Amino acid sequence: MSQPPYPPQYGQSHQQEALPGCWWHPDRQTGLRCTRCERPACPDCLREASVGHQCIDCVQSARQQQQAAATQYRRAGYGARTVAGARMSQRPIVVPALIAINVLVYLFTAAQAQDPMRNDDSAVFTEGVLWPVGIVVQDEWWRLLTSGFLHYGLLHLAMNMFALWILGRDLEALLGKVRFLGLYLVSLLGGSTAVFAFGDIQTGTAGASGAVYGLLGALLVAVLRLRLNPTGAIGIIVLNLIITVTIPNISLLGHLGGLVIGALVMVAMVYAPEKRRTAYQAGTLALLAVALLGLVLYRDAQLAELICGSQGVAC
């Protein structure tokens, strides 16, 4: 019958003496080690990690590195992004600024005309309203944009600014400041271009409705992209189109132009490939703006031949 070379008691004592002491508690012998730094550690000084166990120093060091990386990430302008590439949880800035500009312009024209309901008698209003003949004969191209910041009376202003606030807050949060401003301005230009290209050349048009309808078109695309129930967005668009058709002196062309352009812009914003998102979005905005300006130039040539040729006026 064989026997061990040492008595059992002696072997256990010898094994315990061979174990190293914990790095933080030297009086505690342990056979465990940190999987990261490989220092011996007792169970009280180890924490469970994704692979094995790490000592308290390594856990704290990893936490500090993660916090530093997160801070640097935020400072660099990164973080959670929307489907359009905008940072999450941004307060609306462009929408209040646009409302403020429209209100200030209205107050100025009302003061100049000395009548809040007939502010279109203002000289500034007359020089900024979308009047196709003025664009063709006198090359007053600024009317395509300035007309979007003029309104016929207080009620017209209030309706458009209320719609801008309701629609714009969520869309600015989704798109971010720069993208939203691009959407708004190109939609405004789309509404003005539709009026200039297909409307009555003797009728003056003003209002932010073209841009607001662009936001409506963008809202519908965003709802479809986010896979939300589109019934509400479609209902709002249909209701506004019915109002546009039934109430006199409302520019249907301006509304439709803004609606179509706003929807096209939003398609580029929310369906752009993530790796080339910014370039794709900027390119689409530029392409639409160039296309609209090309249509304006084409229509200008037609009207110049019609107006100036028939009246013998130099255009």
Q: What is the pLDDT of residue 2?
A: 46
pLDDT (average), residues 24-39: 88
Query: Distance between alpha carbon 44 and the CA centroid of its chain, in Å?
Result: 50
Is the pLDDT higher at 32 or at 90? 32
Q: What pLDDT was estimated at residue 11?
A: 47
Is 12 or 109 the better-scoring residue by pLDDT? Answer: 109
The whole-number pLDDT of residue 236 equals 80
Q: Show me where the domains of the chain are located.
A: 20-71, 94-311
236-295 pLDDT tens trace: 888 887 877 676 678 889 999 999 999 999 999 999 998 899 999 999 999 999 999 999
| Residue 187 Cα to chain centre, angstroms | 14
DSSP string, 281-314: HHHHHHHHHHHHHHHHHHHHHHHHHHHHHHHT--
CATH class name, domain 94-311: mainly alpha
Q: Is 230 or 18 the better-scoring residue by pLDDT?
A: 230
Task: Report the distance separating Cα 303 and Cα 195, nearest Å.
Answer: 13
- Say what the pLDDT of residue 253 is: 92
Number of neighbours of residue 80 by Cβ within 10 angstroms: 8
**What's the longest Cα–Cα distance across the chain?**
131
More confident residue, 73 or 173: 173
Provide the annotated active-site residues: 209, 255
Residue 78 pLDDT exceeds 80: no
Rounded mean pLDDT, 164-185:
94
- Residues 107 and 109: their CA atoms lie apart, in Å, by 6
The C-alpha atoms of residue 215 and residue 261 are separated, in whole angstroms, by 9
Contact 64, 84 (CB under 8 A): no
- Please determine, for residue 119, whether its predicted confidence score (pLDDT) is greater than 80: yes
281, 268 Cβ separation under 8 angstroms: yes
- State the CB neighbour count (10 A cutoff) for residue 267: 17
Q: Indicate the range of 52-56, 157-161, 186-190 predicted with least confidence.
A: 52-56
Q: Stretch 218-223: mean pLDDT, rounded?
A: 93
pTM (whole model) above 0.75: no
Q: Report the pLDDT value the prediction gives residue 62, as an integer from 0 to 100.
A: 82
Burial readout 203-228 (b: 16 or more C-beta within 10 A, e: otherwise): ebbbbbbbbbbbbbbbbbbbbbbeee
